[in-house]
Chain A
């Protein structure tokens, strides 16, 4: 085995083996790799910041993370939206220390430099007495993100002026991901973003969005109390508890009929097909997904896009749930990730429907959710073991369905139809490798364009 020098392209390429479905566990704890991710992924990709309805009035702001930068997403006087780096152009202090709120301007509490909603420097204490009017205020506005755009109310930004336009970055798969929420109706963000902290690498949270192999074990207690349906089928493959008991593991009824979409730049969708979901949901809950067949949504989603009922994930860190929520994973360091839950409602729904959905959202996900309570420790313990000198040499496996992912190209979507598999996770890491190498945009796009097999 040849050991490549850390940081080189050859080294990075040795970390992801798509042919064998094996990853090097160093990618989950090496600080140098994290720094490369900050630079090449979070410094370049279009990142989800917030939804327009979170900042409806002029002066409303929401602080969003972009890598290690913090930006203030601000509603302007002309109703447009700007995203400003939350760092004073004098000597760096944060000009705003709240998570959200409403302001007329941002005054830095260090020396009092004052910035308008558009970031222009409008006030400098001692401008004439101390600076003798020699400071050119126009040269020191709050810095803006390189590009900002919205897609159906969802606000995105990138720090890279060279990045392709948002629509192109999203591509067909990324747009379907958002349409599966946006086309549901007249979408409004519910007040309150749940934020909590996991001691794990962000990639565990990202690839788990596609993982329909884990619910039957990780979430077995939620299944036992009726939070998720089970199929009366056991394929435990010999799994037993510590004391040798068979758990009676019941897979999800949708598990043999799943749909995967692979998209450029690393976006993907994976999980149940709409048909299998309809066979599973009680009739009174069909409306959760059948709206996708209404004329408006169907026109946006297309014949293929409307067949997904799984989990879309926008590379690098935005997971969309089936019930109108976005889980944004915010890397803080190689071993610490925050989870931010954005939750939405459809203004057209009745108050009863809105309330029922709120209950489902609070009780499924988030730190106290019947499902998500169990997820964090899997990821933090998985991360912790990647620090062991011997443990980190064991490859990370994504072999389920390996080589069987026949890709069907139709209506601009590259899809795979198969039982539960790990194709989308493998796609995530294949794309991750291209990003982290610092591949330029054109090459990145072609290297992450799905072929005929994965």
Chain B
């Protein structure tokens, strides 16, 4: 009875939408696992060659001036990377002498509130919320919560990130650095 009910009420486009949501969520779960397992070379392969990876500076401004809350591309930022720079960061981690991550931080990337906000067929725009939890050395704890806006391109190998904008819910960063990926 239950199966028959499902078949009669779920239109094919709804099933397609669910499957797409599933695919996208699987992608993010996989990406987070790569980061938390320190598999950075595989992680950076998830980005297209023309990717951009951008984290603006956020500022406390009056509500009236909210348009000035985040810096824009071309202004100062925390990250404003192309693929070569991202690969450089991964190479730096691989030198064995990147002391900020040696001993390595313990990280946990929680990715949630996955919303596909646009589907152009060849690419999707997806918004996610994240919680990056990091502990270091004996007793250091840092946490970053925020929102990401990605452009995911469909390729033969699956989704690839063609753009990532990262919006942190902090103005003055409470951490000593940003030596991890978001």
Contacts and interface: CB of A to CB of B under 8 A. Distances in A.
Contacts of B175: 196-197, 367
A198 B85 CA distance: 25
Given A98-B62, A99-B171, A190 B76 contact: yes
B98 A374 contact: yes
Interface stretch (B2-10, B21-29, B89-97): B89-97
Interface stretch (A6-14, A141-149, A306-314, A353-361): A353-361
B78 A194 contact: yes
A376 B177 contact: yes
Interface string A355-391: 1001101110011101011101110100000000000
Interface stretch (A124-132, A220-228, A265-273, A413-421): A220-228
Given A224-B92, A358-B80, A373-B177, A196 B172 contact: yes
A192 B171 contact: no
A99 B75 contact: no
B171 A195 contact: yes
B60 interface: yes
B59 interface: yes
A192 B77 contact: yes
Given A192-B77, A195-B171, A373-B100, 17 more contacts: A98-B59, A98-B65, A99-B61, A99-B171, A100-B59, A191-B68, A220-B97, A224-B91, A224-B97, A225-B88, A247-B97, A362-B78, A363-B85, A368-B55, A368-B179, A373-B179, A374-B98
B124 interface: no
A193 interface: yes
A97 B177 contact: no
A194 B92 contact: no
A218 interface: yes
A372 B179 CA distance: 10
Contacts, number: 131
Interface secondary structure of A, over-half rule: mixed
21 contacts: A98-B61, A100-B59, A101-B61, A101-B65, A191-B72, A192-B57, A192-B77, A193-B57, A193-B76, A194-B78, A197-B173, A197-B174, A224-B91, A225-B91, A362-B77, A368-B55, A368-B179, A373-B179, A377-B99, A377-B100, A378-B99
Interface in B91-119: 91-93, 95, 97-100
Nearest to A195: B172
B43 interface: no
A362 B92 contact: no
Given A190-B76, A224-B97, A368-B78, A196 B176 contact: yes
A101 B68 contact: yes
Contacts of A197: 172-176
A225 B97 CA distance: 11
B12 interface: no
B121 interface: no
A192 B80 CA distance: 13
A199 B142 CA distance: 12
A100 B61 contact: yes
Contacts of B95: 220-221, 224-225
Interface string B61-82: 1101100100110111111110
| 7 closest A-B pairs by CB | A192-B76, A376-B176, A192-B71, A196-B173, A221-B98, A368-B178, A192-B57
B104 to A, nearest CB: 13
A338 interface: yes
B59 A99 contact: yes
Contacts of A338: 172
Interface string A183-206: 000000011111111110000000
A273 to B, nearest CB: 28
A288 to B, nearest CB: 19
A126 B79 CA distance: 50
B120 to A, nearest CB: 28
Contacts of B177: 196, 367-368, 372-374, 376-377
B140 to A, nearest CB: 8
A448 to B, nearest CB: 31
Contacts of A341: 76
B176 A362 contact: no
B144 to A, nearest CB: 11
A245 to B, nearest CB: 9
Contacts of B173: 194-197, 367
A373 B77 contact: no
Contacts of B176: 196-199, 367, 376-377, 380
Contacts of A372: 177
